């Protein structure tokens, strides 16, 4: 059985039209495997966020195919995509996206509730996720009481709480100092290795290259092996 969980085949994304078209992604083909961290790197404006949005089923490609867990999902109706995202993909955002009025535990719980996890199971899953990122002792703290690295760990806990097989991270070290940023990448690497997650990280932080399994370089919409 293949360990490929997420792949794109000949994917292109073009914005605009009527002579003003801008190609953001050009004929991208690659596969991401369970148990590994793939970094998509490149300068700002190279198309990294666009390809991550396509991988996360948030944006449809102009052409090409997206395959999730062995199923071609390119032509699915928009109404069919949210359940797939909830079941298969955890998102980690650059700006953390935490609710300031909720505690650490509540921030993880609300994500599980949005994913329609039964209340009877949600508390245990949230606490287990916080334990995994070494934040269970801060479960009742608010985001204002946390460091940048701790906020990012909360966002990771939120992404892994429902045990989705795929984790997509958009510039997860951008708002962190170098030491804390590398700790976050090491945490994601350990999650991939120990829990067989497929982790895809988009970043322009070249220090990450030595801390991931694979690097894809992206520039002017073109992706190739680094």
Name the strands in the sheet holding 166-170, side by side, starting at the edge strand that comes first in the sequence. 89-92, 166-170, 198-203, 36-41, 214-219, 222-225
User: What pLDDT is attached to residue 219?
Assistant: 94
User: What pLDDT is attached to residue 2?
Assistant: 60
User: What pLDDT is attached to residue 1?
Assistant: 40
What is the bridge-based pairing of β-strands 63-68 and 198-203? unpaired
Per-residue pLDDT tens digits of the chain, which is 226 residues long: 468 899 999 999 999 876 788 899 999 999 999 999 999 999 888 999 999 999 999 999 999 999 999 999 999 998 999 989 988 999 998 889 999 999 999 999 998 998 888 888 999 999 999 999 999 999 999 999 999 999 999 999 999 998 899 999 999 998 888 889 888 999 999 999 999 999 999 998 888 898 999 999 999 999 998 7
User: What pLDDT is attached to residue 119?
Assistant: 85
Rg (CA), the chain: 17
User: What pLDDT is attached to residue 189?
Assistant: 94
The 3-state DSSP class for residue 206 equals helix
Tell me the C-alpha distance between 169 and 184, whole Å: 11
The model carries a pTM of: 0.92
User: What pLDDT is attached to residue 206?
Assistant: 86
> Domain 4-225: which CATH class?
alpha beta
Token readout for 175 is: 């708002």
HSE on the CB side for 174, CA within 13 Å?
Answer: 15
Domain boundaries, the chain: 4-225
């Amino acid at each position: 059985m293949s360990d490929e969980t997420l792949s794109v085949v000949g994917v292109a994304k073009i914005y605009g039209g009527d002579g003003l078209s801008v190609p953001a992604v050009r004929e991208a083909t690659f596969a991401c495997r369970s148990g590994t961290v793939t970094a998509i790197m490149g300068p700002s404006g190279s198309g990294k966020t666009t390809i991550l949005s396509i991988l996360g089923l948030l944006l449809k490609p102009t052409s090409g195919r997206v395959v999730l867990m062995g199923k071609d999902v390119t032509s699915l109706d928009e109404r069919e995509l949210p359940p797939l995202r909830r079941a298969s993909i955890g998102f980690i955002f650059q700006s953390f996206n935490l609710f300031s009025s909720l505690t650490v535990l509540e921030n993880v719980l609300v994500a599980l509730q949005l994913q329609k996890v039964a209340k009877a199971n949600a508390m245990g899953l949230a606490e287990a996720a916080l334990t995994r990122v070494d934040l269970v002792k801060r479960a009742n703290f608010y985001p204002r009481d946390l460091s940048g690295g701790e906020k990012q760990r909360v966002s990771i806990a939120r992404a892994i709480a429902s045990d989705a097989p795929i984790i997509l991270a958009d510039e997860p070290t951008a708002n962190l100092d170098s030491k804390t940023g590398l700790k976050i990448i090491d945490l994601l690497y350990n999650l991939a290795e120990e829990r067989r997650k497929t982790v895809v990280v988009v970043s322009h932080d070249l220090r990450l290259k030595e801390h991931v399994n694979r690097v894809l370089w992206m520039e002017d919409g073109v992706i190739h092996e680094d």
